[in-house]
Each structure stands twice: as C-alpha cells, then as structure tokens.
Amino acid sequence: MAFVEFRDVRKIYTMGEVEVAALDGMTFEIERGELVVIVGPSGSGKTTLLNMLGGMDSCTSGDIRLDGRLVSGFSDKELVQYRRHDVGFVFQFYNLVQNLTALENVELAAQICKNPLPAEEVLELVGLGHRMDNFPAQLSGGEQQRVAIARALAKNPKLLLCDEPTGALDYKTGKAILKLLQETCENTGRTVVLVTHNSAFCAIANRVIHVKEGRAGAVEINEHPASAEVIDW
Ligand SMILES: Nc1ncnc2c1ncn2[C@@H]1O[C@H](COP(=O)(O)OP(=O)(O)OP(=O)(O)O)[C@@H](O)[C@H]1O
Ligand SMILES: [Mg+2]
C-alpha cells in the first residue's frame, strides 16, 4: 500500500442549482519520502485536492488514505487531530499571525502537537536563526515564507503540503524557497507535496502528477531530480 492514496475521489460544490465537480474521480499514489509536484492549470482542482488530503474539507465520494488510515472516513473530531498532528501546511500568502514574532508563530503551532521539534532549531534550519524576534511585517516575503515553513515543520508532520508556496515571491526568492523544500525532503525524509501551475518545477520532483479538470492524468517518476538551483522559468 502506498503512503498516500487517492481512489476515485470526487468533490462536488453546489452553488444554488449549479454543481461544480472540483475533483471528478481523482486517483493517484505517493510514496513515503518523495518530493511530489502536482501540476495543472488554474481551476484544475489542485487546492481542492490539497484541502482534502490535509483534512480541511471532506470529499463527496471516494477514498483518501494516509499511512494506511482512511482519512476520508474520519469524523470531525478525528479530522481535528489529523490536521493537528499529521499534516503541515504552507500557503501562498504565508498566513502568519501578525502580532506574534517569528519564534512565537512557530511556538504556537508546536504547542498543539504531540512531538513538536524545538522552535529555535527549526528556525535555524530554515536560515532564520538571526530573525527570530522579528514580527512578520519586519520580514521580507521570502523570510515570512521561511517562517511559515518552519511553523509547518515544527509540528513534525508526516506530510508537508504546500499550495503555490512561491506564488507571491520574486524569481530568486522563489527559487530559494524551492531549494529549502527540496532540502527538507532530502535531509529529513519527510514527504513533501507541492502544488503549482508552473511546469518548470516538475524537474525537481521525484514524482510529478499532472491534473486537469479534476482528474489526475500522466504520472512521471524522475530517477534523478534536478536541483532547485539549476531550473529556470
Ligand atoms: N468553495 C467552492 N465553491 C464552489 N466552487 C469551488 C469552490 N472551491 C473551488 N471551486 C471550484 O472548483 C474548481 C477547482 O478549484 P481549485 O481552487 O481547486 O483550483 P486550482 O487548481 O487550485 O486553481 P488555481 O491554480 O487558480 O489556484 C474550480 O472550478 C473552482 O471554481
Ligand atoms: Mg489553487
């Protein structure tokens, strides 16, 4: 059994009389420790599938499994525990608490977990050991995203889920964040899932899953992924 499994997952949003199939029978697998890029055009269902995998919303039908557990069968109470302990999220716009310092933002997330990593250590790891006492507004976009990655990692999650993590950053900063995510995967053995519309990111992944109109299509396995440093877009 694969580490992550999506089996014929559907998510229907109903707006008045209109039904939108954001996920329309999505099936794919991810192995433990992989850096996975999920790529597809705007509206193809990338954020929706990440929300389902992260237990932030439930699917209409189908099976979602992580590490042998049926996430799509969880009760609301189980979902709270799952979001707390098993997954870390990184969003396009960081979502930091503005009136807490970098260190406090990371500590806040660590506090609710069973086996958190020390907040200072994780901030060192993302290269922000010297900016721990700064507030988000005092940090650049790239630095704020590093805090957000530290916050997710401090939870010591099974899965790191990233939704367009470089979307708000310039080219050079975006590349540095990709490199950090790639190193995180290589050095900690953590499974990292990155969704993007930028097909240039595919080269750095162990596994690439192409999505289109709510379905997963071709899957590519890169035996020798490129370093984030050498890709161009
Ligand atoms: N809460 C919602 N209510 C109704 N429709 C929704 C909702 N969320 C998403 N959708 C629809 O589901 C489809 C997939 O949306 P999703 O946000 O997953 O796309 P995406 O691939 O993340 O796009 P982008 O690259 O622009 O972020 C779209 O047609 C969208 O309009
Ligand atoms: Mg999206």
The string of pLDDT tens digits covering residues 125-156 is 899 999 999 999 999 999 999 999 999 999 99
Q: Give residue 114's region: left, alpha or beta (phi > 0; psi -120 to 50).
A: alpha
In whole angstroms, what is the distance from residue 194 CA to residue 196 CA?
Answer: 7
Token pair for residue 11? 């998510």
Report whether residue 14 contacts ligand 1, using a CB cutoff of 6 Å: no
**Which of 10, 42, 48 best tests ligand 1's pocket when mutated (most atoms within 8 Å of CB)?**
48
**Which of 44, 51, 213 best tests ligand 1's pocket when mutated (most atoms within 8 Å of CB)?**
44
Q: What is the predicted pLDDT for the residue at 227? A: 95
- Percent pLDDT > 70 in the chain is 100
Do 98 and 130 touch, CB atoms closer than 8 A?
A: no
Report whether residue 13 contacts ligand 1, using a CB cutoff of 6 Å: yes
Do 153 and 88 touch, CB atoms closer than 8 A?
A: yes
Nearest-atom index, ligand 1, CA of 211: 21
Rounded distance from Cα 78 to ligand 1 centre (Å) = 25
SS3 185: helix
Q: b/e for 105-121, b at 16 or more Cβ within 10 A?
A: bbbebbeebeebbebbe
- Series of mean pLDDT values for 10-residue runs along the chain (233 residues): 97 95 98 98 97 96 97 96 95 95 96 92 93 97 95 94 94 92 93 96 98 96 95 90
The torsion angles phi and psi of 209, rounded to 5 degrees, stand at: -115, 120
Report whether residue 42 contacts ligand 1, using a CB cutoff of 6 Å: yes
Say which ligand is closest to the CA of 196. Answer: 1
Q: What is the predicted pLDDT for the residue at 12? A: 97
CB neighbour class for 68 (10 Å; exposed up to 12, middle 13-18, buried from 19): exposed
Q: What is the predicted pLDDT for the residue at 6? A: 98
CATH class assigned to 1-86+158-233: alpha beta
Rounded distance from Cα 23 to ligand 2 centre (Å) = 13
Domain spans in the chain, listed from the N-terminal domain onward: 1-86+158-233, 94-157
* Residue of minimum CA distance from atom 18 in ligand 1: 45
Do 192 and 204 touch, CB atoms closer than 8 A?
A: no
In whole angstroms, what is the distance from residue 178 CA to residue 196 CA?
Answer: 12
SS3 49: helix
Rounded alpha-carbon distances, angstroms, from residue 195 to 28, 102, 122, 166, 167: 14, 25, 23, 10, 10
Token pair for residue 69? 């557990």
Token pair for residue 77? 């109470």
Rounded distance from Cα 42 to ligand 1 centre (Å) = 8
SS3 2: coil
Do 150 and 189 touch, CB atoms closer than 8 A?
A: no
Q: What is the predicted pLDDT for the residue at 191? A: 97
